[in-house]
């Protein structure tokens, strides 16, 4: 793919995000044979455009980390994208629904790194040793594509549907919990909508972070001290609307809530 087309597609997706309107899939109207490698190049251009606007990277995030989602998309590996400084909110925040197209929420466990990690060959045990602490998080995903429908290259190019994240204020050391056994519930307006345990994320959330490190190593990248890493969804993604209050609870790790306004 020519660099000019790559940049044009990244700009196309960024404009859709900034103007809060959905667009047709890249593979439907622009590059039908788009590959995963080409999609990550578009994503890197999208990241570069955001950095040029003065945003900073909070950390990478994993997507498609459940076996069911990987089977659905016919892939063997999850995907990754990036969370930026303008996407992060504290628990209890009011978030504008008008800033999003068709948002969905999912409960996750986030890793805050105490040191750099660089692959390949990184294991879950090494991830846990490099982790300063764990925090609960609700990720708000929001595809820029019509009807939240996409192929694998489409969603990679669109920064893995990254949109916003609400981070809790309770922290735990990595050895204080068996993260595979952490039960999680997700409620909308007081009604239980989804539940799961940490094992839903590739058997253990640290496995997902290890896989991320090793995937990044293929392009000469690594994870950095201080970054907040979203390990992947424990619960299914639930559609939310203006006026909804979202509440999630993790066994031993606290709770996080926020409300959508306007």
Residue 191: which residues within 8 A CB-CB, separation 6 or more?
none
User: What is the total count of domains within the chain?
Assistant: 1
Q: What's the CATH code of the domain at 7?
A: 3.90.850.10
Mean pLDDT split into 10-residue runs, the chain, 262 residues: 95 98 96 96 98 98 84 79 98 97 97 98 98 98 95 96 97 96 98 96 96 95 98 94 98 97 92
SS3 93: coil
The pLDDT value recorded for residue 25 is 97
The pLDDT value recorded for residue 75 is 74
Query: Is the pTM above the cut of 0.85?
Result: yes
The pLDDT value recorded for residue 72 is 65
The pLDDT value recorded for residue 125 is 97
For residue 35, give its domain range.
3-261
The pLDDT value recorded for residue 76 is 76
Query: What b/e readout covers 70-84, taking b as 16+ CB neighbours within 10 angstroms?
Result: beeeeeeebbbbbbb
Integer Cα distance of 214 and 163 in angstroms = 24
3-state helix, strand, coil in the chain (%, to 5): 35, 30, 35
* β-strand partners of 84: 57
The pLDDT value recorded for residue 77 is 79
The pLDDT value recorded for residue 160 is 97
């Amino acid at each position: 793919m020519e660099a000019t087309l790559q940049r044009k597609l990244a700009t196309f997706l960024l404009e859709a995000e900034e103007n809060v309107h959905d667009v047709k899939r890249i593979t439907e109207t622009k590059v039908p044979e788009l590959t995963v490698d080409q999609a990550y190049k578009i994503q890197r251009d999208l990241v570069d455009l955001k950095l040029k606007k003065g945003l900073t990277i909070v950390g990478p995030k994993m997507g498609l980390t459940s076996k069911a989602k990987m089977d659905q998309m016919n892939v063997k590996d999850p995907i990754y994208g990036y969370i930026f400084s303008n996407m992060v909110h504290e628990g209890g925040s009011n978030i504008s629904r008008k800033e999003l197209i068709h948002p969905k929420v999912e409960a996750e466990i986030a890793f805050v790194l105490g040191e750099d990690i660089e692959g390949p060959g990184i294991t879950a045990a090494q991830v846990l040793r490099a982790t300063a602490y764990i925090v609960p998080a609700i990720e708000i995903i929001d595809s820029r594509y019509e009807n939240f429908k996409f192929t694998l290259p489409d969603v990679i190019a669109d920064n893995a549907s990254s949109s916003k994240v609400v981070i809790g204020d309770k922290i735990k050391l990595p050895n204080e919990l068996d993260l595979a056994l952490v039960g999680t519930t997700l409620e909308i307006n007081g009604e239980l909508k989804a539940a799961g345990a940490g094992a839903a994320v590739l058997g253990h959330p640290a496995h997902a972070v290890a896989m991320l490190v090793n995937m990044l190593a293929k392009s000469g990248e690594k994870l950095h001290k201080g970054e907040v890493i979203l390990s992947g969804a424990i619960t299914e993604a639930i559609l939310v609307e203006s006026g909804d209050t979202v509440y999630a609870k993790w066994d031993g790790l606290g709770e996080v809530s926020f409300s959508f306004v306007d």
